[in-house]
């Protein structure tokens, strides 16, 4: 049992059992293939999603019933354990949740039952299509349009840096259905299948780390009006609700990567000898390890504090919790954990020296994989603005 999970007051026995079970699964089923992620095909990725479903892990990311709730602590625990071994496995897991959360909240029953059930069972791969070439953090500036034409909406536009682009069976797409008085977009959400006429995959994009991602385009794509998710104009609210639930889990993935880096650094420092003594005997190495461990513990405390607050709101209806507190906690967790993980992994590579630069080594892979976490689901700069905004409200 991980000492942090065993000792932390944020967890119940069910969480501790889950963490131990997932760690065992990851070491047995994910770790042997983690180094091969960069060469994974679409079929390999689908097999990975199916494996997660077979292990009954997708239920911690996919809200499969209208009366169900996601336990955010469990979501974070699973992400941390998966990311400890494989960023690709972590992405496969969380995208099933991101791509279905708005659908589970607000889609018509037949749409929800069809797609969410398949995603939860690993039979369909989900995607969340919000970002555009000129609209990243400023989502209200999206230019993809959806105009009502009879019994369908006609979509035109492009989505950029979309995880699972080209492999997904359905996309939760956010488009402009009007313009507010301030000139910003009134957004609505739709479920789109890549089999619909007018859908095209413009490109598959290569990132620093292994991650299926790309750009998609809609040209006169007709989506049945019954496939709209929620009411017209509900898109921004649904997108933000999705982000607010999943944002702490980005920090959890960062903690998983940082924990692996620390473990690798400790093992290497004990094993590697320089000038006749182990690296671990030198005070500069010890100082680095101490700082890495402290930053990791602080990051995990912030992440699971935010997850605990969200669970208290969702399950217990705790009236002492204000949305501002939850928003600030989630952004603090995401900001600190991702930035700290970058520092921890950089120090781990430094401790490894030249061996850490070897392509395919664990710390080299972590160095590439962790960088994206400081950008997606709101950059570190955006998190700082959110934290300050909530602080100034008080």
The pLDDT score that the predictor gives to residue 3 is 86
Q: 260 with 85: CB under 8 angstroms?
A: yes
CATH at residue 204: 2.40.110.10
Same domain, 259 and 372: yes
Same domain, 85 and 179: no
Residues of the domain holding 18: 3-120
Per-residue confidence at 183, pLDDT binned at 50, 70, 90?
confident
- Give the residue from 322, 365, 360 showing the smallest Cα distance to 345: 365
Same domain, 367 and 261: yes
Same domain, 258 and 274: yes
User: Which residues does the annotation mark as catalytic?
Assistant: 377
Mean pLDDT calculated for residue range 221-245: 93
Mean pLDDT calculated for residue range 286-311: 96
More confident residue, 209 or 241: 241
Same domain, 104 and 134: no
The pLDDT score that the predictor gives to residue 35 is 85
| Burial readout 42-59 (b: 16 or more C-beta within 10 A, e: otherwise) | eeebbebbbbbbebebbb
Cα(294)–Cα(291) distance, rounded to whole angstroms?
A: 5
Of 120, 139, 160, which residue constitutes the final position of a domain? 120
Mean pLDDT calculated for residue range 196-201: 96
Same domain, 216 and 303: no
Query: Which residues are 199's β-sheet partners?
Result: 218
Of 182, 214, 232, which residue constitutes the final position of a domain? 232
**% of the chain beyond a pLDDT of 90:** 81
**% of the chain beyond a pLDDT of 70:** 98
Cα(249)–Cα(334) distance, rounded to whole angstroms?
A: 8
Of 232, 257, 277, which residue constitutes the final position of a domain? 232
Per-residue confidence at 282, pLDDT binned at 50, 70, 90?
very high
What's the structural domain count of the chain? Answer: 3
Of the ranges 208-222, 233-247, 329-343, which is most confident?
Answer: 329-343
Give the mean pLDDT of the chain.
Answer: 93
The pLDDT score that the predictor gives to residue 368 is 95
Per-residue confidence at 211, pLDDT binned at 50, 70, 90?
confident
Same domain, 204 and 348: no
Same domain, 26 and 66: yes
3-state secondary structure string across the chain: CCHHHHHCCCCCHHHHHHHHHHHHHHHHHHHHHHHHHHHCCHHHHHHHHHHHHHCCCHHHCCCCCCCCCCCHHHHHHHHHHHHHHCHHHHHHHHHHHHCCHHHHHHCCHHHHHHHHHHHHCCCCCEEEECCECCECCCHHHCCCEEEEECCEEEEEEEEEEEECCCCCCEEEEEEEEEECCCCCEEEEEEEECCCCCCEEEEEECCCCCCCCEEEEEEEEEEEEHHHEECCCCCHHHHHHHHHHHHHHHHHHHHHHHHHHHHHHHHHHHHHCEECCEEHHHCHHHHHHHHHHHHHHHHHHHHHHHHHHHHHHHHHHCCCCCCHHHHHHHHHHHHHHHHHHHHHHHHHHHHHHHHHHHCCCCHHHHHHHHHHHHHCCCCCHHHHHHHHHHHHHHC
Same domain, 276 and 300: yes
Weakest-pLDDT range from 202-216, 269-283, 338-352, 364-378: 202-216
Same domain, 245 and 330: yes
Same domain, 307 and 250: yes
Q: 22 with 81: CB under 8 angstroms?
A: yes
More confident residue, 285 or 378: 285
Q: 67 with 105: CB under 8 angstroms?
A: no
pLDDT tens sequence across 40-70: 888 999 999 999 999 999 999 999 877 778 9
CATH at residue 294: 1.20.140.10
Cα(338)–Cα(296) distance, rounded to whole angstroms?
A: 10
CATH at residue 16: 1.10.540.10
**In Å, how far are 5, 58, 92, 163, 195 from 166, measured between CA atoms?**
37, 21, 14, 9, 11
Q: 168 with 127: CB under 8 angstroms?
A: yes
pLDDT tens sequence across 104-151: 999 999 999 999 999 999 999 999 999 998 877 777 789 999 999 999
Same domain, 281 and 294: yes
């Amino acid at each position: 049992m991980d000492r942090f999970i065993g000792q932390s007051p944020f967890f119940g026995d069910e969480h501790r059992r889950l963490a131990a079970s997932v760690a065992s699964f990851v070491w047995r089923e994910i770790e042997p293939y983690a180094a091969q992620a960069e060469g994974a095909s679409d079929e390999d990725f689908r097999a990975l999603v199916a494996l997660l479903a077979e292990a009954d892990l997708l239920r911690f990311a996919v809200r499969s019933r209208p009366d169900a709730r996601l336990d955010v602590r469990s979501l974070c625990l699973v992400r941390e354990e998966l990311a400890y071994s494989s960023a690709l496995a972590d992405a496969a897991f969380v995208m099933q949740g991101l791509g279905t959360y708005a659908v589970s909240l607000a889609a018509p029953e037949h749409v929800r039952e069809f797609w969410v059930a398949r995603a939860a069972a690993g039979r369909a791969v989900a995607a969340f299509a919000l970002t555009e070439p000129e609209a990243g953090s400023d989502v209200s500036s999206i230019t993809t349009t959806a105009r009502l034409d009879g019994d369908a909406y006609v979509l035109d536009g492009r989505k950029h840096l979309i995880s699972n682009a080209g492999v997904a069976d359905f996309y939760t797409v956010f488009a402009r259905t009007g313009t507010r008085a301030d000139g910003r977009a009134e957004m609505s959400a739709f479920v789109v299948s890549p089999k619909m006429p007018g859908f095209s995959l413009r490109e598959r994009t290569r990132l620093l780390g292994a991650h299926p991602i790309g750009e998609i385009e809609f040209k006169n794509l007709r989506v049945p009006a019954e496939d709209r998710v929620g009411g017209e104009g509900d898109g921004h609210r649904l997108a933000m609700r999705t982000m607010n639930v999943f944002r702490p889990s980005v920090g959890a993935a960062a903690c998983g990567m940082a924990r692996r880096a620390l473990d690798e650094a400790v093992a290497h420092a004990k094993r590697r000898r320089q000038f006749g003594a182990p690296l671990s005997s030198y005070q500069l190495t010890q100082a680095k390890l101490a700082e890495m461990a402290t930053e990791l513990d602080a990051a995990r405390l912030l992440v699971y504090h935010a997850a605990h607050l969200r669970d208290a709101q969702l399950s217990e209806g705790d009236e002492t919790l204000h949305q501002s507190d939850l928003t600030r906690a989630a952004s603090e967790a995401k900001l600190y954990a991702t930035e700290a993980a970058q520092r921890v992994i950089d120090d781990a590579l430094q401790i490894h020296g030249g061996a850490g630069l070897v392509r395919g080594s664990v710390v080299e892979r972590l160095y590439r994989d962790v960088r994206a976490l400081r950008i997606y689901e709101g950059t570190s700069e955006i998190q700082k603005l959110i934290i300050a905004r909530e602080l100034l409200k008080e």
